[in-house]
Amino acid sequence: MLLLNGDCIEEMQKLIDDGKQVDSVVTDPPYHLTSITERYGKEGSAPAKDRDGLYQRQATGFMGKEWDGGDIAFRKETWELAYKLLKPGGHLLAFSASRNYHRMAVAIEDAGFEIRDQIMWIYGSGFPKSLNLGDGWGTALKPAHEPIVMAKKRLEGTNKQNKDKYGTGGINIDECRIEGDDTGAERKKVVRKSRSGDGVWTNENSGMKAEGTQYADADPRGRFPANVMHGGLETEWSRYFYCPKTSKSERNNADKNTHPTVKPVELMKYLCRLVTPKGGVVLDPFMGSGSTGMAAKDEGFDFIGIEKDEEYFKICESRIVRFAPLMDFM
């Protein structure tokens, strides 16, 4: 396990120069939630900060944090380096915000990745970031979800050939199934008929099968993982989706974790498990307070984490060392 205190662009380039390779990238980069203003002589526009260019940030960033005020997650260069570090067929999972997800997704695609899906994390603990305009009017809705880009590096050969050679290229369905009332129960059989006569879709293999006796949707191994997760919603449909939670001890523990956007370790464990082969290496170039590192270690993966902020890096060391006392810190 390797923890690096430095700029992610510089540190990823060093890893490439050293011949390092990783099996997956699971990360929660800055969301750059401040407004984007086009700078072409608009009268009255706020002074541009940090970088020159067509689009600039109007403020320092989320909750006044400077690390959120740039555009690092919107740069093609950032994701090109992650692409180079990944083995063929390796997956990238990157959180973003609903209003500027598209900018990060485009940068990831331009870097060479294939966008495979968008995973939605739904939660109820967000707080409104709205200005009060009076008379019941405001400027924003309460955030209740975060989109996650699911992208994949180009394969060598077929999916099966790539997986056999590198261990990457697929996602770990069975290790990420959703437990339910039917988990472990004997499967019932039903007779299904297709409309076209060509076959029917089944949950067993997510592929077509001939008409006739088929297993019902309930699977004793658990429900097939979906592209939606939630943070403890109690609804009729919520039982169909994975549910990680952030405990108070995670957010305010003995390590004095002051990071404003802590992700649940259980959530990061699920994501690491989904896209990382057994014994693989997970990279997080925006380590934050170390939740991905804790998750990777607890799942039996190796981990490389990069964090520029010295305060947060110390929190990472404190949190992760409890899971991995014998590590290589740099």
**pLDDT tens per residue across span 223-250:** 899 999 887 767 666 677 877 766 666 5
Residue 20 has pLDDT above 90, yes or no: yes
Residues contacting residue 130 through CB under 8 Å, at least 6 positions apart:
138, 139, 140, 141, 142
What number is the average pLDDT over the span 27-55? 55
State residue 67's pLDDT score: 46
Residues contacting residue 115 through CB under 8 Å, at least 6 positions apart:
105, 108, 109, 149, 150, 151
Nearest to 217 by CA among 263, 181, 170: 181
State residue 226's pLDDT score: 92
Strand, helix or coil for residue 9: helix
**pLDDT tens per residue across span 73-129:** 999 999 999 999 999 999 999 999 988 899 999 999 999 999 999 999 988 766 777
Residue 198 has pLDDT above 80, yes or no: no
**pLDDT tens per residue across span 245-294:** 666 665 555 555 555 566 888 999 999 999 999 999 999 999 988 889 99
State residue 232's pLDDT score: 72
State residue 86's pLDDT score: 98
State residue 7's pLDDT score: 95
Nearest to 241 by CA among 251, 255, 252, 227: 227
Kindly report the backbone phi and psi dihedral angles of residue 60, in degrees, each rounded to the nearest multiple of 5, phi listed first. -70, -30
**pLDDT cut 70: percent of the chain above it:** 66
Mean pLDDT of the chain: 78
Residues 200 and 102 in one domain: no
Pick the range with the lowest mean pLDDT from 177-181, 183-187, 313-317. 183-187
What span, in angstroms and rounded, lies between the C-alpha atoms of 82 and 92?
8
State residue 143's pLDDT score: 84
Crossing angle of helices 291-298 and 310-321, rounded to 10°: 20
Residues 291 and 185 in one domain: no
Domain residue limits at 258: 2-32+71-178+225-329
In a domain, 50, yes or no: no
Q: Give the residue from 223, 252, 284 where a domain finishes.
A: 223
In a domain, 39, yes or no: no
Kindly report the backbone phi and psi dihedral angles of residue 37, in degrees, each rounded to the nearest multiple of 5, phi listed first. -120, 130
Residues 109 and 171 in one domain: yes
Q: Give the residue from 169, 195, 223 where a domain finishes.
A: 223
**Which has more confidence, 271 or 144?**
271
State residue 53's pLDDT score: 46
State residue 54's pLDDT score: 44
State the pLDDT confidence band at 40, using cuts at 50, 70 and 90. very low
Residues 173 and 242 in one domain: yes
Retrieve residue 70's tokens: 């740039």
In a domain, 52, yes or no: no
What span, in angstroms and rounded, lies between the C-alpha atoms of 70 and 29?
11
Residues 165 and 116 in one domain: yes
Residues 152 and 239 in one domain: yes
Instruction: Return the top range by mean pLDDT from 41-55, 174-188, 293-307.
Output: 293-307
**Which has more confidence, 176 or 67?**
176
State residue 177's pLDDT score: 92
In a domain, 318, yes or no: yes
> pTM for the full model?
0.78
Nearest to 180 by CA among 240, 230, 236: 240
Residues 259 and 319 in one domain: yes
Residues 165 and 233 in one domain: yes
State residue 259's pLDDT score: 52
In a domain, 59, yes or no: no
Report how many domains make up the chain.
Answer: 2
State residue 319's pLDDT score: 79
Nearest to 38 by CA among 59, 53, 50, 54: 54
State residue 264's pLDDT score: 84
Instruction: Return the top range by mean pLDDT from 120-129, 177-186, 316-325.
Output: 120-129
Residue 40 amino acid letter:
Y
Q: What is the DSSP string of 207-257?
A: SEE-SEEEE-S--TT-BPP-SEEESS--STTGGGSB-----HHHHSSTT--
In a domain, 53, yes or no: no
State the pLDDT confidence band at 324, using cuts at 50, 70 and 90. low
Nearest to 276 by CA among 89, 109, 73: 89
Residues 208 and 322 in one domain: no
Residues 210 and 124 in one domain: no
Q: Which helix (H) or strand (E) holds 275?
A: helix 265-275
In a domain, 100, yes or no: yes
